[in-house]
Amino acid sequence: MADSSLPIVRDVAGLRAQISAWRGQGLRVGLVPTMGALHDGHLSLVRAAKEKCDRAVATLFVNPKQFAPNEDFERYPRDEAGDGAMLASAGCDLLYAPERTIMYPDGFATSVIVTSVSTPLEGEFRPHFFGGVATVVTKLLLQALPDAAFFGEKDYQQLQVIKRMAGDLDIPVAIEGCATVRESDGLAMSSRNAYLSADERRIAARLNHILHDAIKAVHAGEPIAQAEAEAARHLSAAGFTSIDYVAIRDAQTLQPVTDSSRPARILAAAWLGKTRLIDNMAV
Ligand code: PAF
């Protein structure tokens, strides 16, 4: 049970009734999709929703379709009461927390697949991931029909996939990206940081500094491939146990940079023991 001061709905009819009542009064509604285990990064999305809209609705659903069988679906942290209290404190007006049977009833047989922008980077290492995300986010947007939906740049490729998907499918919702929120040592906030041991947590803070250094090197004229390789080498030397990728890519398509006049982004995914961390920054 979530904090009692935050109203909760668990079905589509209840969600739509409240949102269409607000919109009928001329109020703008912002949606903040989450999988719970909330931190300040999520709360910044709620605050952004309240700044740009009149009402903020958060969703809480740990989406099984975006986890591979060997991933952390079972151990993903779940604390609806704690999440509800945090959402209420950030000014959230409604929590939508559907059961799995509401999202994926028996016989559910539809997947939303976004090609191109989904394919590289996360798409290579987690091939199931963006299909699961695009499917659940499409459902959440169509269930809620808000004016805008808010996503963190921490999951930068996910944000580009969702923008592409909403545009391609003419879903009439503005997709808003919000800056990554970081700890005081620069580590990007993530629900999965809770898995880190004290030693791993210390090493994790190196990730953002190593990406900053790579950006500086590129600005000083180092070729992109060399800056990527150096950054990967520094991550290994810092204690990261495995590096999935460090890549400087076109900021919109996530393809290799071919036109240096277009915005670029550095993105990385690396492991500390059993925990996979991702981060990214504008180049
Ligand atoms: O970023 C997340 O927390 C999830 O991928 C999302 C967008 C809520 C879909 O399950």
Q: What is the residue-wise DSSP string for 163-197? A: HHHHHHTT---EEEEEPPPB-TTSPBP-GGGGG--
What pTM, to 2 d.p., does this model score? 0.97
pLDDT value at position 4? 52
Q: Kindly report the protein residue whose alpha carbon is nearest to atom 5 of ligand 1.
A: 133
Q: Which of 31, 34, 128 to mutate to test the pocket of ligand 1 (most atoms within 8 A of CB)?
A: 34
Does ligand 1 come within 6 angstroms of the Cβ of 98?
no
What ligand 1 atom has the least distance to the C-alpha of 61? Answer: 10
Does ligand 1 come within 6 angstroms of the Cβ of 136?
yes
Q: Kindly report the protein residue whose alpha carbon is nearest to atom 1 of ligand 1.
A: 34
Phi-psi region of 25 (alpha: psi -120 to 50; beta: other; left: phi over 0): alpha
pLDDT value at position 5? 85
Strand partners, 149: 31, 175
CA angle in degrees (0–180, nearest 5) for 228-242-151: 70
Q: Tokens 């079972």 appear where?
A: 74
Could you tell me if 92 and 57 are in contact, meaning their C-beta atoms sit under 8 angstroms apart?
yes
Does ligand 1 come within 6 angstroms of the Cβ of 133?
yes
Mind listing the pLDDT tens digit of every residue in the chain (283 residues)?
A: 544 589 999 999 999 999 999 999 999 999 999 999 999 999 999 999 999 999 999 999 999 999 999 999 999 999 999 999 999 999 999 999 999 999 999 999 999 999 999 999 999 999 999 999 999 999 999 999 999 999 999 999 999 999 999 999 999 999 999 999 999 999 999 999 999 999 999 999 999 999 999 999 999 999 999 999 999 999 999 999 999 999 999 999 999 999 999 999 999 999 999 999 999 999 9
If you ran DSSP here, which 8-state letter would residue 54 be given? S
Could you tell me if 188 and 71 are in contact, meaning their C-beta atoms sit under 8 angstroms apart?
no
Does ligand 1 come within 6 angstroms of the Cβ of 177?
no
Identify the structural domains of the chain with CATH numbers, from first to last: 8-178 (3.40.50.620), 191-282 (3.30.1300.10)
Residue 49 Cα to ligand 1 middle (Å): 16
Residue 226 Cα to ligand 1 middle (Å): 33
What ligand 1 atom has the least distance to the C-alpha of 191? Answer: 3
pLDDT value at position 3? 47
234 catalytically annotated: no
